[in-house]
Amino acid sequence: EAGVTQFPSHSVIEKGQTVTLRCDPISGHDNLYWYRRVMGKEIKFLLHFVKESKQDESGMPNNRFLAERTGGTYSTLKVQPAELEDSGVYFCASSLTSSYNEQFFGPGTRLTVL
Amino acid sequence: DQQVKQNSPSLSVQEGRISILNCDYTNSMFDYFLWYKKYPAEGPTFLISISSIKDKNEDGRFTVFLNKSAKHLSLHIVPSQPGDSAVYFCAASAAGAGSYQLTFGKGTKLSVIP
């Protein structure tokens, strides 16, 4: 069974540009989560989808970040326009159910904004 | 304000001995706790979890202990093996309150010396 996959693995962009990250969850997992780890800090929650609906987006830092999950399968996270402080590793995770269930993480996308 | 704290940034243990990783939390709404293991350039890998209705959960060489009154949990690895060398993250959620996001500690880097 394939795990959570993320694309690209690395992205280097200049301040002001747009970047779109993609996550493919484990097949059959209705729950999809985005997290971010900024250098030297802990992994922080961004948002949670149940199928195509946003269940919790309390961690989204500002309106430069837009997450979508059309059709309830893969998800995209767009940053527009990117700022220097957006640099970090963006992780996607998925789980079968929401409650009392482990989340399986992808390898992450390392974003560098210059 | 960190709600999940891992106060030891690093730990070195001899191969074959016990590794004990500690985690403290402050949010009394947390009722589900997980440990993840992370190698460089990879996403966190789920290890073991425990719900707040239990005080111990065991899976092979890994045992998690939960002390609710002290708001403390620990991960025991016995016996430790060189392949266990990685960063270990403690995470928590308030699933019973409908919040499924994971709150992470900063991690403890475990080095198992052959």
Is A58–B101 a contact, with Cβ atoms under 8 angstroms apart? yes
pLDDT digits (tens, 9 = 90+) for B56-107: 999 999 999 999 999 999 999 999 999 999 999 999 999 888 889 999 999 9
Residue A97 has pLDDT above 90, yes or no: no
Which of A89, A90, A100 to probe by mutation at the B interface, max B CB count within 10 Å?
A100
Average per-residue pLDDT for chain A: 94
pLDDT digits (tens, 9 = 90+) for B8-26: 999 999 999 999 999 999 9
Is A31–B107 a contact, with Cβ atoms under 8 angstroms apart? no
Task: Name the one residue in this structure whose structure tokens are 């059709």.
Answer: A71
User: How many CB contacts within 8 angstroms connect chain A with chain B?
Assistant: 61
Q: How far apart are the C-alpha atoms of A95 and B74, rounded to whole Å?
A: 24
- Identify the closest residue of chain B to A39 by CA–CA distance: B106
Question: Greater confidence, B104 or A41?
Answer: B104
**What are the chain B neighbours of A43 within 8 Å (beta carbons)?**
44, 89, 91, 102, 104
pLDDT digits (tens, 9 = 90+) for A12-30: 999 999 999 999 999 999 9
- CA–CA distance from B27 to each of A61, B2, B56, B69 (Å)? 22, 10, 20, 12
Residue B32: predicted pLDDT = 94
